[in-house]
Amino acid sequence: MGEENKAAIPPKYDLNAKWDACLDLGVRRFVYSSFAGAFTGLLLFRSPVTRWASVAFGAGVGIGSAYSECSHKFDGSPPKLTPNISDAPLSKAGDE
């Protein structure tokens, strides 16, 4: 009986699947971007402090991008990237 209810939930409303996907995405992006930060730190920096800072920056970028994508999955629509444009016509330099 539990299997019948599970199959009846549309993917849009299946929170378990969304949480699984977001957890997977978060862990994967955290690890990959930490490795990228470590590799970049090894190539560019000599001090251990700056190398660790590079790793931390990469981890932060990975967590931030995963958070952004997961919030889009839960909200359903991406944010509008167009700027707010007023309906007023533009004035020309000669019209003043």
Any idea where the domains of the chain sit in the sequence?
A: 13-75
The pLDDT tens digits for 60-74 are 999 999 999 888 888
* Structure token digits, residue 90: 């533009």
The pLDDT tens digits for 3-26 are 555 567 776 667 788 888 889 999
The pLDDT tens digits for 27-85 are 999 999 999 999 999 999 899 999 999 999 999 999 999 999 888 888 766 556 666 66
pTM, two decimal places: 0.66
What gap in Å lies between CA 65 and CA 92, rounded to an integer?
42
